Each structure stands twice: as structure tokens, then as C-alpha cells.
Structure 1
Amino acid sequence: MNIKSKGKLRGYKEGFRKGFSLIEIAIVLVIVSILLGLGIRSCISGIETAKIDNTQDKLLNFKTFILRNFCKTGNLVKKKEIDSYYLKDAWNNDIELIYALDTNDSNPCSLKTTSLSVILPSGNEVKDVVAVILSPSANRVLDSNVSLNKVEVKNDDLWEYITLYEIKTQCCSNKGISILTDSLPPIVEGENYDITLVATGGKPPYKCDVTSENSTVESFFKNHLVQGSEAFPYCKIVFSEDDSKDFISLLSSSEVSINLEVKDSSNPPFLASRNYLITVIRRKL
């Protein structure tokens, strides 16, 4: 009996396995924590990369939308007219839309240059920009240079911009307006004057303005301009017999020079201008 008991006890001891030491457990925990840390960082990095890609795609779609709308309508869309989807980035921050100040009064197709430029992180400057679409980096406030029509983008910003060249090459062929009135007839003292200023292209009706180096001439023509309307889209210069007498009495020369500027009803408008030299004929006493 004793021999069997010893045999069983000996077999039990041989099958016994010792547990992990504290050092081994600590090493395992360190390895697990490192792996978890790498996994979390990788996950966070993946989420951040996805947000960057999502926002960059949104900015590109925003740019495409502005270009397509302008090519179709001749109008630069305002922020309030844009789907709210485009106005927030993946971090739920506002996306900024900045237009060149020149486009407030003139259609880009009529411009030869713009005052807006973009300073890239490399330091290079992109000039003649029509619009900047910007997702500023966290906690960034756009500086005062924006009001001066210069936008400096940082390394952490996401952006797209539209140049005047892109607008003109993609959207401006067969667009714009032209003044068809080649010359203006003489102003004869004591006679009525009623001239239609014919324009074509763009979106009627047309609005006109006159400038001149002679302030008397400029003031007179401005006061006798009739703007286009839905009923009659063209501008006119109209004044009476007495008006012609009064006007000529103020002149010392036999010719007057004016510059006519015509805008259509697009928003912003297309623009055309033309210079005229008008003969003044005085009645002999």
C-alpha cells in the first residue's frame, strides 16, 4: 500500500507545472500594451486620413460645382445658394468661400486680371485667382490679408482655387457682350437728340454709364442716359432742343469725347466699353 501511494504521489509531482512569474506577466502586459497602442494610433491615423480625403474630395466637388454653374448661367454662386453639404468639412468646421473683389462688379469673362492671389505653403504666389475654397486648419482664424484680397494657406489647411485662366478657357468662349453702335451722330444746337446704344450678348436688359475727361460733358450725358428695361433692353441718349442749346453754350470746342460702358444683367455682369468722338454743330446767327 505504501509503495502504491508513493508511486501515485511521485506521478502527481512529475505532472505538476509551475505558473508564470511576475516578470513574465509584466513582459506580456508591456507587449500587449505596445500592440494596443500601435493599433489605436493606426486606427486614429486611418480615421484622420479618411477625414482629409473626404474634405479634399468635397473641396474639389465644390470647385467643380462653381465652374459648372458659371459656365451654364454666367453667375458666380453665392454661399447662401450652396447646398449645406459643401459648407462643412469632415471636422464640422466651416468651409470658406472667398471671391476676388473684382467679381463684385464685373463678370470674370470681362476681366483681364484679378486682385486676388493665393500664397501657397511653398511660398509661391498664384495670381489672377477668381475664388478660393478653404478648409482652415484647427483653431485658425483667417488673417486680415483676406480683406486685402490675398489668402495665405498653411501646411495643415486644405484648399482648392479657381483661376481666371480656368474660367476663361472653360466658360467664356462665345460669352460676353459687344457694343454694336459704331459711332454717334453730331449734336446740333437747337435739335433733339435720340440715339439707341445697341449691344448684343450676355443677358439683357443693359445698363450704361458715361465717363469723360471733361466733367461738364460727363455730367450732361449721365443725366440724359435712359437705361434699358424689360420692355426695351437697350440704353438711349435722349435730350431736347433746349438741352442741346444749353449744352453747346457751355462748350468751347467743336468735338466732345466720351467713354461708354455697358453692362448686362448677369450677376456679376459682363462688361463692354467703347470710346466715341462726337461732333458739335453750332447754329449760325
Structure 2
Amino acid sequence: MNRKGFTLIELAMVLVIIGLLAGIGITALGILVKRAKVNSTKEIVNADVEAVLGYTFSIGKIPDLSTFLTVVRNKKDSFGKDIVYIYDSGLTSYCGRLKTNITVYICSDAACTVPVQTIRNVAFIILSGSANYNNQTAGAGEITTPTVIKVYDYGIKVDDYSGDLNRVEPYDDIVKWVTLSELHNNEKCKPLYIDPNQNLPEAIEDAPYRAKIDVSGGVPPYQFGTWNGSSCDTTSLWNGYGLSLTTDGYITGTVNYDTDSNKGSITGCEGNITISNICVKDSLGDEITIADNLNIKVFPQQVKILTDTVPPAYEGSSYNITFFVSGGGDSYTWNIQGSLPPDLTFSNGQITGTVQSDSGCSTPSPYNFTLEASSCGMTAFKGYVLTVIDPDCNSSGGGSGGSGSCSSVTVFNAGDIRYYEKGTVFLFWCIASTRCTEFTSATVSNGECITVYRDFRCRRIESSYGFNTLVNYDTNNNCEVNYNNGRLSDR
């Protein structure tokens, strides 16, 4: 058999081919190993993010740098480099904030003059320098002032962090961040919030009112104020219509929506108080304003006939009494049931006329009637007894009641402590012209009236009388009458 070995040239070629194949295999193996480490590092970064979120949602704050090292399981990436943790220091107090100091730019070129995307209010960032072992993004630690952190497309030659390897090379950092809006998905991390659609309780005119503006999120205690266009001024608080806003969010006071109306009454039977520019600040300094107005619906008080009794009438004398009403609107529909003395008529809350006179002494029976006053869908009823007195039956022959010669009548308080306002008669009302004063005595002239109250602020009406009513009680014609806890008598 003829055997022939390799020539030197053939042997050299075989060795070259084997070397090339070995080189290709080693390179391919290196690529596969690098890819596996990159994927493993991505999983480490994702796991560390989830660990921080778990801590935040259970504690109600994000960890600081030292706490981060105890929270995460993997503190190094697959290349043996430390995992980088960047966070807003203000969020370690509480995660329910409205804004942070961290903004992320997504950049498609090294200059990043116009970011592809801007992510604001980032809570924290976790990153790895990846395969080139060079953190090209930012250093670990807390952010205390507004800071922009740039994240580049892979392959762009850049190095924004000189604290690691200070060299420009293709960007390959693995970066993941979490924003405040993601934290807010947890109840403990809700931001400061005022519901613009909340319904404040309805109010009654000339009645006490107290309501609370609802606020949630942030960190109590809250301070309310007035929004000045750029910030919440807690030294300026809304007030109006007899109400005021307290710094802790209560609206209190006595409603005075319609200042021109009778007490407890509202023109048009309904009103609306608008509260605008309300804002609130929490203990962390976050502040928010209500975009829309808050509204309080105002309704009148129940219609009430204030006049308790009617004075007696005298045969042959003129008679005039005005019935005072509160609540409802500015106008009332009147109705009367029962009987009045002959020649006396009732119209629009007044009884007027001259009682028929006869010769000799007569004792006419008392007249019973009920008045009905209606306004704004509400109705009040009150019954009265009107007694007619015949002067011919007066043995002393004195006293002419309403036909007397008094130009004014002095009313003396003979009962408990009371307060009064004096005024003038307008339509059916006594329009006050003096301040609320303790009632000892008061002089009322023709065309004037007096309203008596139970409280020193003159809000709880007890009785109201005009001049003609007072004259009718002055049976001895000395121009003086007594007032005793809602009842008149001659003096």
C-alpha cells in the first residue's frame, strides 16, 4: 500500500482553519455570556424595584440609601458592580406628595437639546452600568434640588457621570424608574386632594351654619387659605354672607344671604352662596387649589306669624294693627277665617277700620279668627281673639283707646330681661333704625314700631308692635303701656 503524509503547507492550512474555528467559537461564547449577564442584570434591577415598592406600600414612605441596602436582595449586578439607587429625599418622609425633584429626559443624541420624552415627578431610579462596567447616567444617593437625569438610546457615545469610569463610550446602562403617579396607586400614598364636586350642606337664612370642606391625601394637619394665583395664602381666608372659613377648613357663622329682606326671608325663595379660590396646604408644604367653585344652597326659614296677640278695639274708635311675619320670601299671601267686628276689614296683613258705635252700654262678644300666611310653598297659621270694649260701660268715663290724643307711647318692660330695636313701619315689617339695646323702656311715635327680642344679639324675635297697637292698649290715655314677656297691658 502506498501511504503519503501531509505536506508542511497542508498542515499549516489545517492549523489555520482550526484556529479560525476556535476563535469564532470563543467570540460567540463571549457574546452569549455577555447577553446572559445583561438579561440577568435586567431581572436584578426589576426585582430591586419591586422590593422598594413593597417597602413603600407597606411603610408609607420610600427607603433612604441605607434602608435600600437592607430592603433589596441583590445589591450588585451580574457584572459584579454595585446597583445604583437614586431617590428624592423629600419622599422618605411620606410618599403622598404632589411633585418631586427628579425629572427624566429620554435622549436620542448626545446633546439632548430636545428630549424625545420628558418624565416628571420621578420618585426613584435603579440602574446598572451594565456590560461596560461604566455608570454613564448618574451617581447613587439622594436628590434634594430639582435635577434632570438623562437616559440615552443604546449605542450613543456619552458619559454623564464622571464619578465612575470617566470615559465616553457607547451607552448601555440598564435604567428603571418609578413615578409618583405609580406610588399613588397605593392608598397610603394618596396625594393631597380636594373633591371639587363635593356637596356642602344646605343653609337656612339667618340661622347658624357649620360645615367641613373634605380633604384627603397628603399629610395632615391641613391649613386652608386663598389661592393668589401661584400659591396658597393661609393668612387670607374667605368670608361673606355672614360666614367665614377657618384655617382648619370649617365654614361657620350665621347665614345672611339676603340683607334687604325680613329676617329669615329670601327674595325668590332660594339663594346660592359661591365660595371661590379655596386652597389647602398640608404639613409637608404641598398645596392645591379647587378648580371649581364650592356652593351652598340657601333657603328661607319656615314662615312664622310673629304677632302673638291683638289689642282690644273700642266702639266708635279707629283700629289699625299690622301683623308681622318672618321666613319665606319677601311677599306673602294672606287668608282669614272667622269673624271681625263690623266695619273692620283684613287685607295684606292688616286689620283696619272704625268699630261701629251704639248708644248706651253694650257688651259685644269677642271675635275669634285665624290668620293664614303663605310664602315659598310654606304656610303659617295663628289664631286670635279680638275683644270690643264699649266706652259707655266705663264708669270712670275715661280712656278712649285708639282715639286718644297721645302723639307717642312709652313702653315699659315689666318682665324678664329683653332687648329691642326701634324702627319704622314699611308695608308689613318693622324696619330697624336703632341698634340692639337692652329693653327697659322705649318711646314709640306715630309711624314707628318696636321689635322685642329674647337674646342680646336681637335674633330671636318675641314680639313686634306698631304705634297704633300700643295706643289701643293705653286705655287710660296716659300714653304709657307695660310689656311683660310678650304681652301688653295698660300702665
Q: TM-score, normalised by structure 2?
A: 0.33
Does residue 116 in structure 1 map to residue 102 in structure 2?
Answer: yes
Partner deviation per Cα, 1:141-176 (whole Å, 9 max, x = no partner)? 6559x77521112421001110222112x3147846
Structure-1 residue corresponding to 2:35: 49
Write the letter of the residue equivalent to 1:46.
Answer: L
The alpha carbon displacement at 1:98 in A equals 1.2
Structure-2 residue corresponding to 1:171: 186
Q: 8 Å contact 2:102–2:123 — kept in the other structure? A: yes
Write the letter of the residue equivalent to 2:118.
Answer: V
Match of 1:34 among 2, 16, 20: 20
Structure-2 residue corresponding to 1:79: 65
Instruction: Count matched residues.
Output: 194
Structure-2 residue corresponding to 1:153: 151
Q: Any residues of structure 2 matched to 1:1-285 within 5 Å, and which? A: 15-82=1-68, 83=70, 85-100=73-88, 102-103=90-91, 107-111=94-98, 113-122=99-108, 123-128=115-120, 129-137=122-130, 138-140=133-135, 142=137, 148-154=146-152, 155=154, 156-168=172-184, 170-172=185-187, 175=190, 261-263=281-283
- For residues 160 and 57 of structure 1, the distance between their equivalents in structure 2, rounded to whole angstroms, comes to 11
The alpha carbon displacement at 1:22 in A equals 1.3
Q: 8 Å contact 2:125–2:177 — kept in the other structure? A: yes
- For residues 165 and 58 of structure 1, the distance between their equivalents in structure 2, rounded to whole angstroms, comes to 23
Q: 8 Å contact 1:70–1:171 — kept in the other structure? A: no
SS in 2 for 1:52: helix
The alpha carbon displacement at 1:131 in A equals 1.2
- For residues 270 and 108 of structure 1, the distance between their equivalents in structure 2, rounded to whole angstroms, comes to 13
- For residues 164 and 178 of structure 1, the distance between their equivalents in structure 2, rounded to whole angstroms, comes to 14
Write the letter of the residue equivalent to 1:130.
Answer: A
Identity of aligned residues (%): 24
The alpha carbon displacement at 1:70 in A equals 1.6
Gaps of 5+ in 1: 1-14, 183-198, 219-234, 236-258, 264-268, 276-285
Change (3 A) 1:86 1:125: farther
The alpha carbon displacement at 1:54 in A equals 0.9
Structure-1 residue corresponding to 2:322: none
Change (3 A) 1:86 1:211: farther
- For residues 141 and 53 of structure 1, the distance between their equivalents in structure 2, rounded to whole angstroms, comes to 19
- For residues 60 and 270 of structure 1, the distance between their equivalents in structure 2, rounded to whole angstroms, comes to 32
Deviates more, 1:56-65 or 1:90-99: 90-99
Q: TM-score, normalised by structure 1?
A: 0.54
The alpha carbon displacement at 1:134 in A equals 1.2
SS in 2 for 1:151: strand
Q: 8 Å contact 2:57–2:189 — kept in the other structure? A: no
Gaps of 5+ in 2: 109-114, 155-171, 195-199, 201-213, 229-233, 236-247, 249-278, 291-491
SS in 2 for 1:153: strand
Q: 8 Å contact 2:63–2:92 — kept in the other structure? A: no
- For residues 177 and 48 of structure 1, the distance between their equivalents in structure 2, rounded to whole angstroms, comes to 46
The alpha carbon displacement at 1:271 in A equals 6.0
SS in 2 for 1:19: coil
Whose strand proportion is higher, 1 or 2? 2
- For residues 16 and 117 of structure 2, the distance between their equivalents in structure 1, rounded to whole angstroms, comes to 50
- For residues 285 and 36 of structure 2, the distance between their equivalents in structure 1, rounded to whole angstroms, comes to 41
Q: Which has the higher contact order (CA 8 A, sep 6+)?
A: 1
Write the letter of the residue equivalent to 1:54.
Answer: S
Write the letter of the residue equivalent to 1:88.
Answer: K
Which of structures 1 and 2 has the bigger CA Rg?
A: 2
Q: 8 Å contact 1:176–1:270 — kept in the other structure? A: no
